C-alpha cells in the first residue's frame, strides 16, 4: 500500500523519459537560426519576450496557484506541495501530448512557446485540484493529472484548430474546463460522511495571509497570462491593457459587493482572495480584441459581482474548498456562455 505512490510516480517519470527520448528534440539548428539569431535582432526579441512572459506565467502556476489554496488551515502543505508535484508532472505530459497533436510528425521541437503551453495545460489541473483538495489521495491526483491534461489538450485542439474559436487567455479551455472537470471529480469523490469534517475547512489568520501571496501574484501577472500566446504587436498590447483594467475594476467591485453581502459590512477574505481574479478569467476570451478599456472594466465588474454573489448564495456540495472553486469558476462558466457568442463573432471577424 505505502509503495503505491512512489512506484506510480517513478513509473510515470520513467515513461516520460522514454517518450522524451523518442520524440522530443530542441528546435533544429535550421529553425533556431531563423528564430534566435543575434545578428537578426527582431528574432532575438521574440525569443526574449516569450521568455519574460513565460516566467510570469511560471510564477502564477507555482507560486500563484500553490499559495491560493493555503487558506485552509490544515491543507497548507497539501496545497503548495501537491501543487508543485502535479504541475511538474503535468508540464512534461502536456509537452508530449500537445507536441504530438500540434506537430503531426515524428519529432516535437521544443521552444519557449511549448514551455508556456505546457504550463498552461497544468493550470487546468490546478483549478480542478481546488475542488477536490482534502477529498483526494495523491495517487488519485496523479491519475487525474494524466487524464485531465489529455482531455484538455484534445478539447483545446478542437476549440482552437477545428472550431477556430477565439480564446486568447484560454478562459474557456483552461478555466471553465478545469472548473467543470474538478466539480465532476468532486461529485464522484463526494461522500456524505465528509460533511462533518467542516473544521478542516476553516482558515486561520496567517493561513489567509499566505493565500494572499497566491492571489496577488496571480492578479499581478494575469495580463501576461492573457497575452503570452497572443500575436506579437497590437494584439498582445491590447491583451495586456484590457486585462490590466478589467482586473482593476474587478477589485473595486468585488470589495463593494463583499461589503454589501457580509454581516455588518465587513469584508470577507475569501471574496478578496478569489473574486478579485474573476476579471482576469472573464476578459480572457476576448482580451486581444479591440473591445476598448471601458468594456474590459464592465466585464471585470460583472465578473466580480457574479463571483461574490455566487460564493455567498450558491452552495451545492458542502465544504469551503469545493464551494470556493465552484463559484469562482461558476463565474467563468457564466461568461463562457456569453463568450460563445463573442467567439463566434470573432470567428466571423477573423474570417473576413
- Is 349 an interacting residue with respect to its own copies (CB under 8 A)? no
- Among 75, 120, 225, 244, the residue binding its own copies under the rule CB under 8 A is 244
CA atoms within 13 A on the CB side of 124: 31
Separation CA 127–CA 124 (nearest Å): 5
Q: Which residues pair with 108 in a beta bridge?
A: 24
Pair type for strands 24-26 and 108-110: parallel
246 neighbors 299 (Cβ within 8 angstroms): yes
**Measured from the CB of residue 78, what is the shortest distance to its own copies in angstroms?**
9
Closer Cβ to its own copies, 174 or 240, answer by number: 240
Closer Cβ to its own copies, 88 or 345, answer by number: 88
Measured at the CA of 72, the angle between CA 67 and CA 73, to 5 degrees, comes to: 105
Separation CA 134–CA 84 (nearest Å): 16
Q: Sketch the per residue contact string, 139 through 178, with its own copies: x for CB under 8 A, - otherwise.
A: ----------------------------------------
203-232 positions binding its own copies, by CB under 8 A: 205-206, 208-210, 212-213, 216-217, 219-221, 224, 232
267-296 positions binding its own copies, by CB under 8 A: 267, 269, 272, 276, 290, 292-294
Name the residue among 205, 174, 215 with its Cα closest to residue 67: 215
- Among 72, 125, 172, 251, the residue binding its own copies under the rule CB under 8 A is 251
Closer Cβ to its own copies, 108 or 179, answer by number: 108
Q: Which residues contact 34 (CB under 8 A, 6 or more apart)?
A: 43
28-47 positions binding its own copies, by CB under 8 A: 29, 32, 36-39, 41-42, 44-47
Amino acid at each position: 500500500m505505502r509503495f503505491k505512490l512512489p512506484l506510480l510516480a517513478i513509473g510515470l517519470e520513467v515513461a516520460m523519459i522514454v517518450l522524451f527520448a523518442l520524440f522530443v528534440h530542441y528546435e533544429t539548428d535550421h529553425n533556431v537560426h531563423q528564430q534566435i539569431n543575434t545578428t537578426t535582432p527582431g528574432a532575438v526579441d521574440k525569443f526574449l519576450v516569450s521568455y519574460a512572459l513565460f516566467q510570469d506565467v511560471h510564477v502564477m502556476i507555482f507560486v500563484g496557484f500553490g499559495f491560493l489554496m493555503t487558506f485552509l488551515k490544515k491543507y497548507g502543505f497539501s496545497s503548495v506541495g501537491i501543487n508543485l508535484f502535479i504541475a511538474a508532472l503535468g508540464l512534461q505530459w502536456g509537452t508530449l501530448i500537445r507536441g504530438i497533436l500540434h506537430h503531426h510528425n515524428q519529432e516535437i521541437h521544443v521552444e519557449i512557446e511549448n514551455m508556456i503551453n505546457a504550463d498552461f495545460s497544468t493550470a487546468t489541473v490546478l483549478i480542478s485540484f481546488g475542488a477536490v483538495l482534502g477529498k483526494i489521495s495523491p495517487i488519485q491526483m496523479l491519475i487525474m493529472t494524466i487524464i485531465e491534461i489529455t482531455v484538455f489538450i484534445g478539447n483545446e485542439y478542437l476549440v482552437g484548430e477545428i472550431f477556430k474559436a477565439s480564446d486568447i487567455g484560454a478562459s474557456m479551455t483552461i478555466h471553465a474546463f478545469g472548473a467543470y472537470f474538478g466539480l465532476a471529480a468532486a461529485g464522484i469523490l463526494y461522500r456524505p460522511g465528509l460533511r462533518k469534517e467542516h473544521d478542516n475547512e476553516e482558515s486561520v489568520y496567517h493561513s489567509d495571509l499566505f493565500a494572499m501571496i497566491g492571489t496577488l501574484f496571480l492578479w499581478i501577472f494575469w495580463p501576461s497570462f492573457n497575452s503570452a500566446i497572443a500575436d506579437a504587436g497590437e494584439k498582445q498590447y491590447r491583451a495586456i491593457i484590457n486585462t490590466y483594467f478589467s482586473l482593476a475594476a474587478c477589485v473595486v467591485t468585488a470589495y463593494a459587493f463583499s461589503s454589501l453581502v457580509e454581516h455588518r459590512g465587513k469584508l470577507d477574505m475569501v471574496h478578496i482572495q478569489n473574486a478579485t481574479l474573476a476579471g482576469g478569467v472573464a476578459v480572457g476570451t476576448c482580451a486581444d480584441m479591440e473591445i476598448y478599456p471601458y468594456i474590459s472594466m464592465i466585464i471585470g465588474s460583472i465578473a466580480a459581482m457574479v463571483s461574490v454573489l455566487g460564493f455567498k448564495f450558491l452552495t451545492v456540495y458542502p465544504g469551503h474548498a469545493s464551494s470556493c472553486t465552484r463559484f469562482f469558476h461558476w463565474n467563468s462558466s457564466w461568461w463562457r456562455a456569453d463568450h460563445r457568442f463573442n467567439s463566434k463573432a470573432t470567428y466571423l471577424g477573423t474570417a473576413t
